[in-house]
């Protein structure tokens, strides 16, 4: 019984430590790597292929997703941003010309890919609150 109570106290102490520390971010589910918004007046098919980029630019494909997004609609990627990194995005709209973007994305950030027209894409980053380093 004493061992059980002691184990409970240790477990509670660990939980309180994690809640009050900078490690709380590790317990939060990472966001989707990106979301696609269609700001155009017509629906679009958006194909996004993502490659991880290292220092020598040897690209490794991370994923390829195709979304059918209605006018004013939004679709969220199934890929989570667990670690961040540098990525090459190859995006085509309605099977048109590829547009390429190389982006450095911090861990737990997310991208917003906005389709303005069939040939015009805007990309912005959503930065999640980060815990400041304790002195």
- Domain assignment present for residue 98? The answer is yes
Q: Are residues 56 and 111 in the same domain?
A: yes
- Domain assignment present for residue 131? The answer is no
Provide the domain count of the chain.
2
What's the number of CA atoms in the CB half-sphere (13 Å) around residue 1?
0
The count of other CB atoms within 10 Å of the CB of residue 27 is 8
Q: How far is CA 48 from CA 4, 43, 75, in A?
A: 52, 16, 12
Per-residue pLDDT for the chain (135 aa), expressed as one digit of tens each?
Answer: 555 544 455 444 444 444 444 444 445 677 888 999 999 999 999 999 999 887 555 678 889 999 999 999 999 998 888 778 889 999 999 999 999 999 988 887 889 999 999 989 999 988 876 544 444
- Domain assignment present for residue 134? The answer is no
Q: Are residues 70 and 112 in the same domain?
A: yes
Q: Are residues 102 and 72 in the same domain?
A: yes
- Domain assignment present for residue 12? The answer is yes
CA dist., res. 31 & res. 64, Å (int): 18
Q: Are residues 44 and 6 in the same domain?
A: no
- Domain assignment present for residue 118? The answer is yes
Q: In what order do the strands lie in the sheet with 44-52?
A: 60-69, 44-52, 85-93, 99-105
- Domain assignment present for residue 135? The answer is no
- Domain assignment present for residue 13? The answer is yes
Whole-structure pTM value: 0.71
Range of the domain at 121: 31-126
């Amino acid at each position: 019984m004493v061992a059980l109570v002691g184990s409970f106290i240790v477990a509670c102490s660990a939980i309180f430590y994690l809640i009050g520390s900078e490690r709380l971010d590790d317990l939060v589910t990472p966001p989707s790597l990106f979301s696609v918004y269609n700001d155009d007046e017509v629906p679009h098919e958006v194909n996004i292929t993502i490659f991880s980029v290292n220092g020598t630019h040897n690209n490794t494909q991370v994923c390829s997703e195709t979304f059918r997004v209605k006018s004013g609609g939004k679709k969220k990627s199934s890929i989570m941003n667990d670690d961040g990194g540098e990525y090459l995005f190859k995006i085509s709209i309605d099977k048109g010309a590829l547009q390429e973007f190389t982006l450095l994305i911090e861990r737990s950030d997310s991208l917003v890919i906005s389709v303005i027209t069939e040939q015009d894409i805007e990309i912005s980053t959503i930065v999640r609150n980060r815990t400041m380093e304790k002195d």
